[in-house]
Amino acid sequence: MEDDELIPLSALQHFLYCPRQCALIHVEQMWAENRLTAEGKLLHERADQAQTGQRHGVRTATAMPLVNRALGIVGVADVVEFYAGDTARVMPVEYKRGRPKQHRADEVQLCAQGLCLEAMLALPIEEGALFYGQSRRRVRVVFDSALRELTLSTIAATRALIEAGRTPQAEYAARRCDACSLIDICQPRLLGRHVSVNAWLAKQLEDD
């Protein structure tokens, strides 16, 4: 698969969080910062610098480029740990600013990293870890058959969304939308009620 056909790993997380958010970012190329995304950047600062190190028999690589051309996905792992021993063991670690979530978007993004490492290293990648900044703890994630199937179906659905080039209708959900940095661009409270764009623009001009 050509480079311009590869889907960013981050798009999988965006898709499961909200397909409209995914389309705004990866189809319409829109982005906005808020406090949560800024905190996330700070958490990633160390991992975003490509380097290797070794401690207690574990070699670590930060900001490691990943790709699986058969699946058409590409990205960067925050950290990949290589464990010494008779059996080669490799584990991706993804940093998140918040806390463990009820949905599986973070797990799917991590599992996709594992699928890339399997393709690149020709080794089975059985698990990974999510490090959450709010709790300062790791959560172990096993790449079992159910998670792998969910990850593969998410890759297919995300590809279909991006290739279609259409942004889904807004659907307002307070718990999801109010924390989204794109809420002012998305306008889910208005457009989710099927208010036309022309009507929304007219309202803005009226308010001004």
Residue 202 neighbours by CB distance under 10 Å: 11
Range of the domain at 105: 33-156
pLDDT (tens digit, 9 = 90+) per residue, 44-56?
555 556 567 777 7
Tokens of 155: 């890759």
**For residue 4, with 0-12 CB atoms within 10 Å meaning exposed, 13-18 middle and 19 or more buried, which class applies?**
exposed
Q: Does 163 fall in a domain?
A: no
Q: Does 133 fall in a domain?
A: yes
Helices (H) and strands (E) in the chain, counts: 9, 7
Q: Does 14 fall in a domain?
A: no
Q: Which residues of 141-179 are buried (b: 16+ CB within 10 A; e: fewer)?
A: bebeeebeeebeebbeebbebbeeeebeebebeeeebee
| Regions of the chain with pLDDT less than 70 | 32-51, 86-87, 192-208
**Using alpha carbons only, what angle is made at residue 145 by residues 110 and 157, rounded to the nearest 5 degrees?**
60
Q: Does 203 fall in a domain?
A: no
The pLDDT of residue 128 is 97
The pLDDT of residue 111 is 98
> Which pTM was predicted?
0.80
Q: Does 106 fall in a domain?
A: yes
The pLDDT of residue 37 is 44
The pLDDT of residue 56 is 75
Q: Does 202 fall in a domain?
A: no
Q: Does 91 fall in a domain?
A: yes
Phi, psi of 143 (to 5 degrees): -85, 70
Domain at 94, CATH number: 3.90.320.10
Total domains in the chain come to 1
The pLDDT of residue 196 is 46
pLDDT (tens digit, 9 = 90+) per residue, 70-102?
999 999 999 999 997 756 799 999 998 888 887
Q: Does 183 fall in a domain?
A: no
